[in-house]
Structure 1
Amino acid sequence: MIMEKEALILDMDPGIDDAIALSIALTRPEFDLKLLTGVAGNVAVEKTTANLLKLEEFFNRTDIPVAMGAKAPLKREFKDASYIHGESGMPGYDFPELKHQPIDDPAVEAMHQVLSDAAEPITIVATGSYTNVALLLIKYPDIKSKIKRFILMGGSLSGGNVSSVAEFNIFTDPDAAKIVYESGIDITMIGLDVTLKALLSNQSIENVAEIGEVGKMISGVMTAYNDIEAAGKPMHDVNTILFLLHPEFFTLEDHMVYVITEGPAIGGTIADTQDRWSNGKLNAHVAVDINTKAFEDWFLAEIPHMNQMKDHPIK
């Protein structure tokens, strides 16, 4: 467990699983949330940013600045995943009309300001495409020293979910992902190798609806979630927050990971497991397995905690 508050910037594209990851982060005293940034991914950036604001208001955490980021990938045409996450990105629960707005600064400028002002390096958690992060590294290369590490949801060593090799976040903006993986900053990759094992059963989704307003919200959005496996629904982005709290639940391997940016394997993340090209260099701690029972037990225990913290927000 984290003994001291960890300063975080969360870069997200809610999106249902992002929304649940953020819900937990907003209610855990282990985190000092410095900034939330929206990016185009599951739905358009205007919607992902609005969803960040909705969740802040739901959990009474409007103290955290929210900035709108990139509207499209660096080089590719933007294609959303509304067929999975719904038109709004967060269907299934009736959030009230927004009462506050994002800050005026765009995401890259807001990230740069927060990092520059920080006394110690800050962890960036990215659960959407990495466009905002790549733009930050392009425009302000000297800021790298102020980034403690990246915790990234994305990629896969075992096969994709939008092609035979590509996971959605990487596929959405592979050029941005390549920049991030070549940055030299410490990276933990939380990809499909574990997130397709970290499932919430359909029965559990029904049961959490009875645990206060938070349970009702989470059950509602999860019921509307069209990402379905035989044993339940995957909680992809939640695993980044879980890793920060309980890294012992995960099995990691260190690899040199390459991002494919063209051709039929575009968006693929390839580990040089035979050291054919990397000459012993490594750039990522890759999560390859997870304690699935510990995951579900932990998640279900978080619902009553979130419900309590909704009425007694962190100050």
Structure 2
Amino acid sequence: MNKKSIIISTDPGIDDAVALALALFSEELEVKLICPTFGNVGLAYTKANTEKLLTLYQKKPRVVLGSQTPLVRERIDASEIHGASGMDGYDFPEPRIFAETAQTAVAAMHEVVSQAAEQTILVGIGPLTDIALFLHLYPQDLPKIERIVVMGGSLGRGNSGVLSEFNFAADPEAAKMVFDSGVPIQVAPLEVGDQAKIMPATSEKIKGFGEIGEMIYRLFTHYRSGSFLEGLSMYDALAIALIVKPEIFSLVVTRVEIETVASLTYGASLIDLENFLGLPANAEVAINVDANQFEEWFIDSLAKTV
């Protein structure tokens, strides 16, 4: 079986830690490059968290540092959800894998995509700053991108502003550049992550999956997106599921516009399901996920980490 080549832009983050495990241990994916970026916490933390995770996972994909700040707006974070370090709750071993700093993430993305024999999938599970810069600076690479898969945006209300979801709100201008790029895009918005809840019984199963399972369980006890007792919302894992398990989603081809005017709706994603805007579709948006099938895939995938 030919594996799909992917590049992951990420801001670990508890749910990013899980998404990275799902991708790195997948039999269907080959992670060519990981680019830590600012987001849930600052770049120094997301860099350290990526290095700690890869050391624990005993995986050695190339890691190149991404952006420290958004393109235009002031940096925001989500430390109230993920803890001050982004991954509070587990005592990680000393990292033995270190991110490259002599090159930018954008240049590294260009190297990987341009030199690959097959098309590459870009996965954005944090702010889209580096993906936007890559698309802008290397338009000659666009035909070699199979698609961009992102967790971001919302069908209705937000979790960062009244109408804005965090990943897009963290860099609205970058999100707009991505959706205006003409590259095929798949989106897992906020509400679908709220459908894909991990319940206590599932967390207990994961706890039994060796050291990695214990780590994920401990992080879950500190995760503040949902409730450990009533169900934790899994957001970033959806981006991996969209690639390897697309049949569990209901997808709609539609227009996504990002609000970049500095107003009360700054960073909002307008997912035009009713075609009010009358604009050509630019994305395939998940509007539902089969929660039972997601949970089954989630458990089976993490069981491969043992």
TM-score (norm 1): 0.92
Check conservation: 2:26, 2:301, Cα contact below 8 A: no
Would you identify which runs of 4 or more consecutive aligned residues in structure 1 move more than 4 Å? none
Query: In the alignment, does 2:79 pair up with 1:68?
Result: no
Does the 8 Å contact 1:46/1:68 carry over to 2? no
Residue 175 of structure 2 corresponds to which residue in structure 1? 177
Conserved 8 A contact 1:193-1:287: no
Q: What is the CA–CA distance in structure 2 between the aligned matches of 1:183 and 1:285, rounded to whole Å?
A: 14
Partner of 1:301: 300
Once the two structures are TM-superposed, the CA of residue 142 in structure 1 deviates from its matched residue by: 2.0
Aligned partner (choices 77, 88, 99) of residue 102 of structure 1: 99
1:48, distance to aligned residue in structure 2 (A): 1.0
d(CA) in 2 for partners of 1:12, 1:132: 10
> Which of 30, 37, 42 in structure 1 is aligned with 2:28?
30
Cα displacement (A) at 1:267 = 1.3
How far, CA to CA, are the matches of 2:221 and 2:205 in structure 1?
Answer: 12
Distance 1:130 1:54 in 2: 23
Corresponding letter in the other structure for 1:56: L
Q: Does the 8 A contact of 2:194 with 2:233 survive in 1?
A: yes
Q: Distance in 2 between matches of 1:182 and 1:271?
A: 14
Give the corresponding residue for 2:153. 155
Q: d(CA) in 1 for partners of 2:14 and 2:118?
A: 31
How far is the alpha carbon of 1:208 from its aligned partner? 2.4
Q: CA deviation at 1:274?
A: 3.9
The offset of 1:236, in angstroms, is 0.3
- Residue-by-residue CA offset, 1:138-193 (whole Å, 9 max, x unaligned): 22222212211000000011221112211110011001000000000000011113
- Separation of aligned partners in 2, 1:16 and 1:198: 15
Retained in 2: the 8 A contact 1:38–1:67? yes
Query: Conserved in 1, the CA contact under 8 Å of 2:25 and 2:301?
Result: no
Distance in structure 2 (CA, Å) of the matches to 1:101 and 1:273 = 43
Q: Distance in 2 between matches of 1:126 and 1:274?
A: 26
Report percent identity of matched pairs.
Answer: 39
For 1:1-315, list aligned pairs within 5 A: 3-62=1-60, 64-103=61-100, 104-229=102-227, 231-262=230-261, 263-279=263-279, 281-307=280-306
Aligned length: 303
For 1:258 and 1:74, locate their aligned partners in 2 and report how far apart those are by CA, in whole Å.
Answer: 18
Deviation at 1:213, TM superposition (A): 1.2
Q: Distance in 2 between matches of 1:25 and 1:277?
A: 36
Measured in 2, the distance between the counterparts of 1:18 and 1:45 equals 14
Most deviating of 174-183 and 98-107: 98-107
Note the alpha carbon deviations across 1:14-70, whole angstroms, 9 max, x for none: 1000110001111112111110001100011121122222221111112x1101010
RMSD, aligned CA = 1.4
Shift of 1:211: 2.8
Where structure 1 has 5 or more consecutive residues not aligned to the other structure, the ranges are: 308-315
Q: CA deviation at 1:299?
A: 1.4
Residue pair 1:199, 1:235 contacting (<8 A) in 2 also: yes
Task: Write the letter of the residue equivalent to 1:289.
Answer: N
Q: Do the aligned partners of 1:49 and 1:66 also contact (CA within 8 Å) in 2?
A: no
* Cα distance in structure 1, aligned partners of 2:34 and 2:106: 11
| 3-state SS of paired residue (1:37) | strand
Answer whether contact 2:254 2:275 (CA < 8 A) is retained. Answer: no
Unmatched runs of 5 consecutive residues or more in structure 2: none
Superposition deviation, residue 203 in structure 1: 3.5
